[in-house]
Amino acid sequence: MANSTTRRGLLKGGLAVSAGLAGTKAMAAGDPAITEVQDWAQSLGEGVDARPYGSPSGFEAHVKRRNVEWLTADPVSSVNFTPLHELDGIITPNGLCFERHHAGIAEVDPGLHRLMINGLVDTPLVFTMSDLMRFPRENRVYFLECAANTGMEWRGAQLNGCQFTHGMIHNVMYTGVPLRYVLEEAGVKTAGKWILPEGADASAMTRSIPLEKALDDCLLAFKMNGEALRPEQGYPLRLVVPGWEGNMWVKWLRRIEVGDQPWHHREETSKYTDLLADGQARRFTWEMDAKSVITNPSPQAPILHGPGPTVLTGVAWSGRGSIPRVDVTIDGGMNWHQARMSGPSFDKSMHRFYYEFDWDGSPLLLQSRAHDSTGYVQPTKTQLREVRGVNSIYHNNAIQTWAIDEKGRAENVEVS
Ligand code: MTE
Ligand code: CO
């Protein structure tokens, strides 16, 4: 770490954009990629009837959700991860959104799907999908992060790649009906203070959510990025709970009960609660604190081009608002630089940042630090452990470090 400071290349990092062209090779004489007529130019390609619902180029076959074998005792109650290092911008393509199921993917027939509202309401109601489509809709972009994202990193650097350390997140545009409209239609009784959404899958997952949140910004979503929800994301209907932990976003949503107190079911007691250093568990941690990660370079996306102009990029998000600022360091925290934000900035949505610098070929320690619109700053691992201990597997939003060696290879490490 000591030998990675005060190098000229690092200090002039902010100016590297103008040096960009210097790293580009002059035209090579006799390059067969230019001089030869490639296969794809020698015959006609497929017609417009070949791909009625498109899929990515075969050259992108490595871009996929992946799981971790030792975390996957049985794939029907497990997780796979979004390949963050292969993506750019802020929107996650539907086919790459990580999946977390407690009882596999329910294949629900939308014609037979019903949403029931019962409990402390004036009129218990049942909606078909087409009933729901007659309420006014809204379009909003939100991240969904599982509370267990980065959960394997509490005690030390463990999984080697941002897909595995940070890939339990996706960010899409939802189309849906504000939950408030449907609750107002049923008429919540004065004693009603909580809701209990329930899934139609074999896990019948339930979570207690305060009525205040339900009436604020929750959506009954049926579209993501313009198309129908994918089966793995809860087709035909899922609850969107902006900024709050992913477990509350009940998929295949079939029922919402209104009650006067939380139910304390499995997912909010033995799971998704934070065990602290003194053995006490924190009751309910709903909002996801500000967090960021550098996606490139990273262990699955090493620097392959050698010294010279280098693009560093990553994502940041906060369950409490937007991300006006991200700082990055390439020397393990000795010098911090303000990253360049690019792309739309929405509350409770992913943000994209870049930092272009001139790599001199020596080892680096890369970190990013998010600031959210409330003024909160993403903590170091040491700061987080001081408050939370290391017993939890949930809600780890600490700063992540990637070490880069002379060959541009990256590794998950910790610096104190
Ligand atoms: N809803 C139902 N019905 N069944 C589930 O297993 N998993 C929850 C939540 N909603 C789950 C569910 C968890 S723990 C998370 S993190 C998110 O859905 C994952 O959403 P995704 O599969 O779209 O990534
Ligand atoms: Co989860």
Write down the pLDDT at residue 71. Answer: 87
**Nearest ligand to residue 205 Cα:** 1
- Residue 207, Cα to own-chain centre: how many angstroms? 20
Q: Which ligand is nearest to the CA of 267?
A: 1
- What is the tens place of the pLDDT at every residue in 33-45? 999 999 999 999 9
100 ligand 1 Cβ < 6 A: yes
Give yes or no: residues 81 and 221 share one domain.
yes
In 3D, which of 184, 176, 178 has the Cα closest to residue 225?
176
| Structure confidence by residue, pLDDT tens digits, 279-306 | 999 989 999 999 999 999 999 999 999 9
The SS3 call for residue 52 is coil
What radius of gyration do the chain's Cα atoms show? 24
Does the beta carbon of 201 sit less than 6 angstroms from any atom of ligand 1?
Answer: yes
End-to-end CA distance of the chain: 11
- 145 alpha carbon, closest ligand: 1
User: Is residue 97 lining ligand 1, measured as CB closer than 6 Å?
Assistant: yes
- Choice among 137-141, 178-182, 275-279 with the minimum mean pLDDT: 275-279
Spatial neighbors of 180 by CB under 8 A, at least 6 apart, are: 214, 215, 216, 218
Buried b (16+ CB within 10 A) or exposed e, 322-357: bbebbbbbbbbbebebebebebebbbbbbbbbbbbb
Q: Is the pLDDT of residue 207 over 50?
A: yes
Helix (H, G, I), strand (E, B) or coil at 33: helix
Phi and psi at residue 224, to the nearest 5°: -130, 130
CA 201 / ligand 2 centre spacing (Å) = 15
pLDDT category, 1, cuts 50, 70, 90? Answer: very low
Q: Tell me the residue range of the domain where 177 lies.
A: 69-282
pLDDT tens digit sequence for 27-73: 777 899 999 999 999 999 999 999 999 999 999 999 999 999 888 88
| 115 and 179 belong to one structural domain | yes
Pocket test for ligand 1, best of 65, 146, 149, 268 (most atoms within 8 A of CB): 146
With respect to residue 151, please indicate whether it lies within any of the assigned structural domains: yes
- Contact between residue 118 and residue 92 where contact means Cβ atoms under 8 Å apart: no
**Distance from C-alpha of 95 to C-alpha of 233, rounded to nearest angstrom:** 10
Looking at residues 309-313, what average pLDDT do you find?
98
Residues 122 and 269 in one domain: yes
Does 94 have pLDDT greater than 90? yes
Helix (H, G, I), strand (E, B), or coil: what is residue 132? Answer: helix
DSSP assignment letter at 109: -
Mean pLDDT for 237-241 is: 98
Last residue of a domain, one of 282, 317, 337: 282
| Contact yes or no for 370/378 (Cβ under 8 A) | yes
Domain final residue pick, 244, 260, 282: 282
pTM score > 0.85 for this model?
Answer: yes
Would 49 be classed as within a structural domain?
no
Beta bridge partners of 366: 402
**Structural domain count of the chain:** 2
Measure 202 CA to ligand 1 centroid, in angstroms: 12
Residue 179 lies in a domain: yes
Atom of ligand 1 nearest to the CA of 147: 16
Ligand 2 mean position, distance from CA 343 (Å): 27
Tell me which residue has its CA closest to atom 2 in ligand 1.
251
CA distances from 18 to 8, 12, 137, 336, 344 (A): 16, 11, 45, 20, 25
Pairing of strands 351-359, 340-341: antiparallel
User: Do 338 and 255 lie in a common domain?
Assistant: no
Ligand 1 site, residue 203, Cβ cutoff 6 A: yes
Q: Is 251 in the pocket of ligand 1 (CB under 6 A)?
A: yes
Cβ neighbourhood burial of 275 (10 Å; 0-12, 13-18, 19+) = middle
Ligand 1 mutation pick, 232, 251, 272, max ligand atoms within 8 A of CB: 251
Q: CATH no. for residue 227?
A: 3.90.420.10
Among candidate residues 247, 282, 317, the one where a domain is terminated: 282
